[in-house]
Amino acid sequence: MDTELDQRSIAVIRGLALDGPHAARSGHQGTAMALAPLAHVLWTRVMKYDASEPEWADRDRFILSPGHASILLYSMLHLSGHGLTLDDIKDFRQWQSATPGHPEVGHTAGVEVTTGPLGQGFAHGVGMAIAEQSLRARFGAEICDHHIFAMVSDGDLAEGVSHEAASLAGHLGLGRLVYVYDDNHISIDGPTEISLSDDAPARFRAYGWHVIDLGEAGEDLDALETALLDAKAVTDQPSLIVVRTHIGYPSPDYTDHHEAHGYALKDEEITATKAALGIPDEPFYVPDDVVAAYRECGLRGGAARAEWAARLAGFSGDRAALDASLARTGVDGWAAKLPTWDVGDSVATRKASGACVSALADVVPGLMGGGADLTGNTGTKIPGDLLAADNPAGRQIAFGVREHAMGSILNGMALHGGTVPLGGTFLVFSDYMRPAVRLAALMQSKSLFVWTHDSVGVGEDGPTHQPVEHVSALRAIPHLPVVRPADANEVNAMWRAAIDGDGPVAMILTRQDVPVLDGTADAAVEMGAYVLRNGGSNPAVVLAATGSEVAVCVEAAEALAADGVAARVVSMPCWEWFEAQDASYQRSVFPRGVPTLGVEAGVSHGWYRYADDVVAIDRFGASAPGATVLNELGINADNVVSHARSLLA
């Protein structure tokens, strides 16, 4: 039942939605105003959380997928006692404030995911629901029993990534997923009808979702609560609640106006709107009784958290597996289970990675994932059962041809906790995943991206499938380790670093077999670059390469040595790890005054920070057997020797 305090609380939230962007002279007011009643119901009547412990593992998760409405989330976090102060709200969108323009996980307590690009939050939630379902199926409801709630917009539903994620969520029967579609009929350019005529309820029913169409109920608190509770009760389907809201409500001039999507309501409009709301015309008005009521709600989950902590302490199942899953690592001694290879073996790094994944499955209990319809090709097969609606404990995920959603789902799984998610496809299709990969780097989610068929060595499929610029493009993303191992033993080291780490890793792997080289076993792969072949105390030239081209450099160095030229070979599996080392180590790998030749079967972009010349492929590939394409485009020892001699000359 609505009370006077309920309505005043909603008015206060709407007032903050006006004042935050107005103080910043930037932001989005209208959506936050329209969604204030829904947020109020969620945070005071429905969600399970404890504001004093924002990272409690069994809390409900909340995602604001239209992150431009961030002032709404910040208002809820302030009122509920998550640590945001009113001064933080006043500092909205300012330098180093706790209230940036779009929510950022790890930056503001209570923010579960970084949302900004539309559709990503939608897909993140699907990943969270997969993780919740898996933990509950494997360890029991006494350890994991919560829901994923999200507000989603017409923009989220228009983006292709949401279609892919919604399809998979329905297929998997993710019953703990409850989304509310803010059907406000407004886009930046005008009414949504100018570009959108979808029947969203019908579309989601076709995906296998449980759909509740509330119609004009955006202000009806009891109807919103009933719908949310009904959706929570559905255990075998994700739920979509469709509710018609009115952007900018109750502004006399900007309700249902497309300009209310942004920063439209200024001094006079704010005064008129606050009069309609029945609150004082003063900035950042938050009365004590509203705060007190919200703080009580914010702490209400404390008892449930304490009960959960007691159940966790008394857990009688596989405690080692549970602890390793929650810590997102392996059980004691896990690294010793990784396979090793002998010098002279010849194995594609994708196959070596697949052997590592198989070995890790038993000792990294949170490991989950698969391929985008390329599981066998990418070495992302996890032994055991396939995840399915009737087998929620399965750890192998059949993502289907859904690269966009796969990347975002990995992020959601990683942020939820309890899983170490991996997903594989061909490197050329990393373009489809780039928004999710960029967010993984920004959020530092422990998402493991397995990309195979890493060069023109792909061969007959031709230039559409031969990545030449992709490694360089991925290296341009800040804080994303891009690892291109030279051989199977470097793959072993790559996986050790990935499981030990806390953030994302991009794994770049060959289709073709490459030799296992002398010196890669137990090498300092984690340093990013190391001397594989010294070439004597005073090398005349350094040959530096990544991936399959390291073997080419070893062959070239042997040819140069036969002619009396001492060549050092440097394996550079990860530039980002190398950049993190101190200057003295970097100089020990690349000595001053010694010319360096870089070698990589991709574009030369970026190499000149290390090399004086580069053997590279600054063009698209061609359709022919992979070895032929590599040779014809100059990725061979003879060409490396020729360039080294020219460099010395």
Give catalytic residue positions.
Answer: 403
Rg of the chain (C-alpha set): 27
Q: Which amino acid is present at 538?
A: N
CA distance 512 to 347: 8
Backbone angles phi, psi at 213, to 5 degrees: -100, 105
User: In this structure, are strands 530-533 and 567-571 parallel, antiparallel, or unpaired?
Assistant: antiparallel
Contact criterion met (CB below 8 Å) for 532 and 557: no
Q: Exposed, middle or buried: residue 469 (CB in 10 Å: 0-12, 13-18, 19+)?
A: middle
- Give the 3-state secondary structure of residue 567: strand
CA distance 342 to 578: 26
CA 450 to chain centre: 14
Q: Which residues pair with 508 in a beta bridge?
A: 451
- Give the 3-state secondary structure of residue 130: helix
Q: Residue 252 CB: number of other CB atoms within 10 A?
A: 11
Q: Which amino acid is present at 403?
A: E
Q: Which residues pair with 182 in a beta bridge?
A: 153, 243
Q: Mind spelling out the 3-state secondary structure of 356-416?
A: HHHHHCCCCCCEEEEECCCHHHHCCCCCCCECECCECCCCECCCCCCHHHHHHHHHHHHHH
CA distance 470 to 454: 9
The sign of the torsion formed by the CA atoms of 516, 517, 523, 524 equals: negative
Cα dihedral 199→204→206→209 (10° resolution):
-150
Q: Give Cβ neighbours of residue 268 (< 8 Å, ≥ 6 apart).
A: none
Q: How far apart are the first and last CA of the chain?
A: 86
CA distance 616 to 92: 47
CA distance 129 to 16: 31
CA distance 562 to 509: 31
Q: Which residues pair with 183 in a beta bridge?
A: 244
